[in-house]
Amino acid sequence: MSRNAESTAFRSALEVIRAVEPRVADAIGAELTDQRESLKLIASENYASPATLLAMGNWFSDKYAEGTVGRRFYAGCQNVDTVEALAAEHARELFGAAHAYVQPHSGIDANLVAFWAVLADRVESPALKKAQVRQVNDLTEADWFALRRELGNQRMLGMSLDAGGHLTHGFRPNISGKMFDQRSYGTDPATGLIDYDRVAEAAREFKPLILVGGYSAYPRKVNFRILREIADSVGATFMVDMAHFAGLVAGKVFTGDFDPVPHAHIVTTTTHKSLRGPRGGMVLCQPELADQVDRGCPMVLGGPLPHVMAAKAVALAEARRPDFADYAQRIVDNSQALAEGLLRRGAKLVTGGTDNHLVLIDVSGYGLTGRQAEQALLDSGIVTNRNSVPQDPNGAWYTSGIRIGTPALTTRGLGTAEMDQTAELMHTVLTATTAGANADGTPSKAKYALDPALADKIARQATDLLTPFPLYPAIDLA
């Protein structure tokens, strides 16, 4: 696509939107400006290509397509079949997976599809066997009662939230915590690393139906071969949620024991984050789970989003290009450079560094909570998110950590030298920020003090740092 074509496409789209609701058009334009001028360090965010973005804004949005390729509950889905089949083909080839299901709307949806697929595959019940052959109308109330009892209270073992796990790995605020009798494995208190012997011990004691690997805030590689051996030793299904590091798997930065696809029975992921696609989810699985996974809609999903599946196909095609592997390696190089820059300046990092795309800073060393640090950095043009650290005394709302990641800045072209400068900007802000107090004089976990002049200075420096690396340089909305 030419530079002029990209500008024309997005400018024309905004003109059409502005004619109906100018405030929406203004907000879209403002978001591009904000993203261009801010250091985006949220580990779960990235910048999708113009082609991926444009693939979402079309009349595929108007089509219902329950079912799967060639087996739809609506007529006229031949073009949806084309883009869904392409997305699944690209996913299988990219990850070396036996089967790919690209309909999930999000990572949570992908996990729900995986959970129910495993439950349906593993739990033995006469009622369930009837349901599996689609004779739902023939099930009696007694059959449904037996089915609910069989599917309920199964056991899940996953990484604890404060050690870097995710809400969807069995925690009470999420539906997974209500579906399963859940137990967590943590990390070694001294190192912050997974202790595989302790995971094996927990699995032998708890005997879960599903052992979950993967994370949202663990800055190291995971040995999926060992976790599969643990799962096999107790007869568990091994599921991996690779939403955060899928791009590193696709780019062959994580291979062998650190690539989950050859080792897991079922793998879930988002398609954005380090994979740099549209917001959405995906499930990869072994052949024996394929039929159950393909029933994700209507099992737990609403109607598929054909326009997003089209964008997934585009993004996955981009990820199969040779330059994506170079991009994935630069993500890790930048992450490690950022970690080293912070360490040199005295920051405390969980596990003392990183092997992947993210860095977890324990900001208690600056005398701050995660919430205070997050807002002070935002005031200074640096976008991050607060995150729990192991054994966090401030809980999951205020936290003691800041999670940062390099996929987005790497997409813009920043390198290791700019990561060191980023570390300097962050350290300056965090050092200059002080915790505030409540009206009664007690320490506040939310209030903070930062000289506005310093915040403005850092924000200008952040913008200057980004100037040689324009975001969407071919797009001019003026």
Domains in the chain, CATH or no CATH each:
59-319 (3.40.640.10), 322-466 (3.90.1150.10)
Residue 183's alpha-carbon distances to 120, 160, 198, in angstroms, are 21, 8, 13
**Residue 316 pLDDT exceeds 60:** yes
Sheet holding 401-405, edge to edge: 358-362, 401-405, 385-387
Answer yes or no: 241 catalytic. Answer: yes
Structure tokens at 143: 């059959």
Residues forming beta bridges with residue 72, ordered by sequence position? 67
Residue in 84, 121, 241, 362 annotated catalytic: 241
Longest CA span, the chain? 71
Answer yes or no: 3 catalytic. Answer: no
In 375-438 the beta strands, taken as DSSP E runs, fall at 382-383, 385-387, 401-405, 434-437
Residue in 64, 225, 348, 463 annotated catalytic: 64
Structure tokens at 37: 């001028």
Residue in 40, 220, 228, 279 annotated catalytic: 279
Residue 415's alpha-carbon distances to 33, 217, 461, in angstroms, are 22, 22, 16
Paired sense of beta strands 358-362 and 401-405, if any: antiparallel
From 241, 295, 307, 297, select the one nearest 268 (Cα to Cα): 241
**Residue 17 pLDDT exceeds 60:** yes
- What CA–CA distance (Å, rounded) separates 40 from 384? 7
Residues forming beta bridges with residue 210, ordered by sequence position? 156, 237
Answer yes or no: 270 catalytic. Answer: yes
**Residue 387 pLDDT exceeds 70:** yes
DSSP conformational letter for 277: -
**What is the pLDDT, as a whole number, of residue 164?**
76
Instruction: Judge contact between 33 and 27, C-beta under 8 A.
Output: no
Q: Which residue has the tokens 């309909």?
A: 103
Phi then psi dihedrals of residue 445, to 5 deg: -95, -5
- What CA–CA distance (Å, rounded) separates 322 from 45? 22
Q: What is the pTM of this model?
A: 0.91
Listed in sequence order, the DSSP H helices in 282-391 are 287-293, 296-299, 306-319, 322-344, 370-379
- What CA–CA distance (Å, rounded) separates 319 from 277? 9
Phi then psi dihedrals of residue 325, to 5 deg: -60, -40
**What is the pLDDT, as a whole number, of residue 131?**
52
Residue 284's alpha-carbon distances to 260, 304, 365, in angstroms, are 10, 17, 41
**pLDDT band, residue 133 (cuts 50/70/90):** very low
From 448, 274, 466, select the one nearest 377 (Cα to Cα): 448
Lowest average pLDDT, out of 137-141, 249-253, 318-322, 416-420, goes to: 137-141
Residue in 36, 72, 220, 273 annotated catalytic: 273
Count of CA atoms in the C-beta half-sphere (13 A) of 414: 30
**pLDDT band, residue 178 (cuts 50/70/90):** confident
Residue in 37, 66, 291, 420 annotated catalytic: 66
Answer yes or no: 191 catalytic. Answer: no
Q: Which residue has the tokens 């915790």?
A: 435
Paired sense of beta strands 180-185 and 210-214, if any: unpaired
CA angle (76 as vertex; 71, 80 as ends), nearest 5: 70
Instruction: Judge contact between 360 and 403, C-beta under 8 A.
Output: yes
Which residues, at least 6 apart from 33, have a Cβ–Cβ distance to it below 8 Å? Answer: none
- What CA–CA distance (Å, rounded) separates 377 from 342? 15
Q: What is the pLDDT of residues 230-279, one digit of tens each?
A: 999 999 999 999 999 999 999 999 999 999 999 999 999 999 999 999 99
Residue in 52, 237, 269, 270 annotated catalytic: 270
From 224, 211, 221, select the one nearest 170 (Cα to Cα): 211
Q: What is the pLDDT of residues 110-132, one digit of tens each?
A: 999 999 899 887 665 555 555 55
Q: What is the pLDDT of residues 158-168, one digit of tens each?
A: 998 887 787 77
**What is the pLDDT, as a whole number, of residue 134?**
43
The CB density around residue 86, as the number of other CB atoms within 10 Å, is 18
